[in-house]
Amino acid sequence: MSALVTLAAAGPSPLWYATRAGGTVALVLLTATVALGIAVGGRYEPRRLARFEVSALHRNLSVLTLVFLALHIVTALLDTFVHLGWLATVVPFVSSYRPLWVGLGTVAFDLLLAIALTSAVRLRLGQRRWKAVHWLAYGAWPVAVFHAAGTGTDTRLAQQLALYAGCLALVVGALWWRLYHAGPGRVAARLWAGVTAAAVPVVLAAFMNSGPLQPGWAHRAGGTAPVATVGGRPAPTPADDGEAPHD
């Protein structure tokens, strides 16, 4: 009976589920925000929606992304299974738990925070400077995807892999849509965007096959958290390879 109680206590806490849910929803919302910004930007004019409606939807998606990202960060900090520390939320690569992959999440957060802060002073900053900072959102997306894949202990699940594939397909599809409607001119920029759209899926697939989908990833990722024991043996968790049930 005591072993069963210990085993139950060793399972993931509600904070773990909240962290995973917050991070997953934030990634989906960020994907939708980036895809929408790519698809309707430039010269393309949507036929059934006014430009201000698209802008309002884009802005609301951005705000929701930050809300769920905040939930993801706060619950991760409150969950004591892995001690991240507040410094790791703003300074990349200082976490003792999977420093590279947690650090990528910090980089994505810092980029999105810069966009939010500059948007608040957009009129004073000027359109050109604000737009330059706004482009950081496009860089934050792939960084966030690699953070999720490298840090998430449920990356091997079929549902999670399908979600990553869906996010990737949406952004790449939006980029090809943008290129299709771009019109003549700016050949170098269009060529660079096309190469990027083709390369990102290949790089991500190669990383997944050689990293998170292979046995021993918890050890190679670095900073594996301590595993609870039952009767002197490791207690099973939702993760493989003795990984901590944490993102």
In this structure, is residue 240 part of a structural domain?
A: no
Whether residue 12 has pLDDT greater than 70: no
Q: How many domains, the chain?
A: 1
Residue type at position 22: G
Block residue for tokens 């090809």: 176
Question: Residue 176 falls within a domain, yes or no?
Answer: yes
- The pLDDT-based confidence of 228 (bands split at 50, 70, 90) is very low
Range of the domain at 121: 2-234
pLDDT in tens, 58-100: 889 999 999 999 999 999 999 887 778 899 999 999 998 899 9
Please give the mean pLDDT across all residues of the chain: 80
Question: Greater confidence, 93 or 127?
Answer: 93
**66 occurs within a structural domain:** yes
Kindly give, in sequence order, each residue whose CB lies less than 8 Å from that of residue 51, ignoring residues fewer than 6 positions away.
Answer: 45
Q: What is the pLDDT of residue 138?
A: 86
In a domain, residue 247? The reply is no
107 contact partners, CB below 8 Å, separation of at least 6: 92, 140, 143, 147
Q: Does the residue 71 lie in any domain?
A: yes
Cβ contact 229:67 at 8 Å: no
Q: Is the pLDDT confidence value at 223 over 60?
A: no
The most confident of 153-157, 178-182, 220-224, by mean pLDDT: 153-157
The answer to whether 45 touches 59, Cβ cutoff 8 Å, is no
Give SS3 for 123: helix
What are the tokens at 235?
């207690």
pLDDT confidence band for 200 (50 / 70 / 90): confident
Q: How many CA atoms lie within 13 A of 172 on its CB side?
A: 17
In this prediction, residue 164 carries a pLDDT of 95
- The model's pTM is 0.81
Q: Is residue 241 part of a domain?
A: no
Tell me if 131 is assigned to some domain.
Answer: yes
pLDDT over threshold 80, residue 11? no
